Structure 1
Amino acid sequence: MSTPDDVHRLARAMPHVTALTGPKGNTIYQVGGKSFVFFRTPQPDARFDDVIMFWVPSEEDKLALLATEPFFTTPRFDGHPSVLLRGSRLGEVGLDELTEIVQDAWLARASTRRRERWLAEQDGA
């Protein structure tokens, strides 16, 4: 099953990715200056300190992921195009599913040109 190392590996494998280190040592993956996977820092009002945020392409995609364990959201993220997942629960997510989630997060944030190029390369693979 999946681990935080898999999230890092999959995010870094996408093209044009920049990995930033936040002020509290958390990793933020961006494409074109836009975050797509974000290891959240502990929040004073949060129940968990190991939350990973994944951007989603649409509200429909968000609702589909939220219909399955272990993905969740909080009122703070109502209307935000993302889902949350505790790092300690990554083992409940298969590697194929995690790969698709990271790729979809990248696709949701990449420019049209980069998205179209990457998708064309996948069709040719």
Structure 2
Amino acid sequence: MRIHLSSVFVDDQEQALRFYTDVLGFAKKTEVPLGDDRWLTVVSPEDPDGTELLLEPSGHPAVQPYKTALVQDGIPATSFAVDDVHAEFGRLRERGVRFTQEPLEMGPVTTAVFDDTCGNLIQIVHSE
């Protein structure tokens, strides 16, 4: 069994697509119109057949309280693995990404947390 798809709730799919592709560097994988919304996924260009991230509309009534609570408590909605948190932090900061947690080393794990501009906190992590 493998993880095929994961999702993150986004306030605006078009804004999310721009952020996740133009800023973070993911590649659009799937786009299927579904009424006012889309089935919209992105993947790592390093693994185009790997796990897809669904940029899921946050229209369900339960989503906004959930997202608000996570952000207020500083809890990331998801986590992305990187080779070097410090390097990725620098690259993303140069692109205007706002971090809520700068790189933090906790033994063999280093993390940082940023705002995805779509209502979520996202963690980047590297383990030695």
TM bin, normalised by shorter chain, reads 0.3 to 0.5
Q: Could you say which structure has the greater relative contact order, defined with CA pairs below 8 angstroms and 6 or more residues apart?
A: 1
Structure with bigger strand share is 2
What TM-score, normalized by structure 1, do the two folds share? 0.35
TM-score (norm 2): 0.35
